[in-house]
Amino acid sequence: MSEDKYYYSEQVYSETFYQLPKVLFTNQRYKKISNDAKVAFALLKDRFNYSIRNHWIDKENRIYFIFTNQELMSLLNNQEKKVIKIKKELEQVGLLEQKRMGLNQPNRLYLLRPEVEATDIYLQANAETLDNSGTVKKTGNLYNINSLDTNRYNIDTAELDFSTENYSKAEIQKQNQDLIEQAYKFLTNDEAGIPFEPETVKLISLWTNNPKQVRKFIGIILNARKAVQEEHNISFILDDEPELQAKITQTIRRYFNALRSDDKKIRNQENYL
């Protein structure tokens, strides 16, 4: 018998592989994570067999495993700060859970199964192939991955995800600024909208960083208007009072000036407003 038919130990170990799920490259939820995080998922998944041999199974019969940051640092050739970031990426998209076990004990890691949607199956089934000449061709009657139908009939398979992790800081700043500048159009149920002159809206947009801040800021002012109307049993529409609008702008600017002045120490900025 020819020796070429035998398997040798060095050959077996040279042909072992980590498994990397295709869904990590087709599902919009997972495509946004870094390639390092995807590789880390494959490394953690490979640890399952080791967990079973060591009977690392909790009371709910769920497989957990121990994989220290130092081990990941060695395998990924990264610093601990980067490894922590990678694990956080996996947690944010629902692929990893960490359970603290107490002082001087390593965390238990739980790997979670990726969610596969109809779109992922379509994309994987329609992956491009190459013919003998190296030219991209279609497989049977299936279409190129780039021909995925995105019309309204497929809308139920598409996941909307506007999480801040999907945008750069500059993009988030532009989005927030748009919401802030247009806040007077949608942040109140008042039929008259937010009754401020353009100068007031511009001033508030310069000082607030996000829609949550501007909503709270404007809410305080509108609550003040409501309190005045109830206290004096009157009703007035600021849109019809340009002088009052100007005084509101003046008062807000005086408020911001006080925040910037060194001679005033304001402990509670909301109460002061």
Which stretch of DSSP H or E encloses residue 99?
A: strand 96-99
pLDDT, one tens digit per residue, over 186-203 is 665 554 456 677 788 888
Residues belonging to the chain: 273
Show which of 96, 127, 157 is a domain's final residue: 157
In a domain, 6, yes or no: no
Same domain, 267 and 212: yes
Same domain, 61 and 134: no
In a domain, 70, yes or no: yes
User: Looking at the 3D structure of the chain, how many domains does it have?
Assistant: 3
Show which of 74, 91, 111 is a domain's final residue: 111
131: alpha, beta or left, given left = phi > 0 and alpha = psi -120 to 50? Answer: beta
Output the domain CATH number for residue 80.
1.10.10.10
pLDDT for position 190: 53
Query: Beta strand pairing status for 136-137 and 129-130?
Result: antiparallel
Whether residue 35 is predicted with pLDDT greater than 50 in this model: the reply is yes
pLDDT, one tens digit per residue, over 168-190 is 888 888 888 888 777 766 665 55
In a domain, 3, yes or no: no
In a domain, 243, yes or no: yes
pLDDT for position 121: 62
If one compares 14 and 173, the residue with the highest pLDDT of the two is 173
Same domain, 19 and 100: yes
Q: Is 152 helix (H, G, I), strand (E, B) or coil?
A: helix
Tell me which residue range forms the domain holding 135: 118-157
Q: 227-234: list long-range contacts, CB under 8 Å, 24+ apart.
A: none
In a domain, 2, yes or no: no
Same domain, 173 and 143: no
pLDDT, one tens digit per residue, over 128-142 is 444 444 444 444 444
Same domain, 145 and 80: no
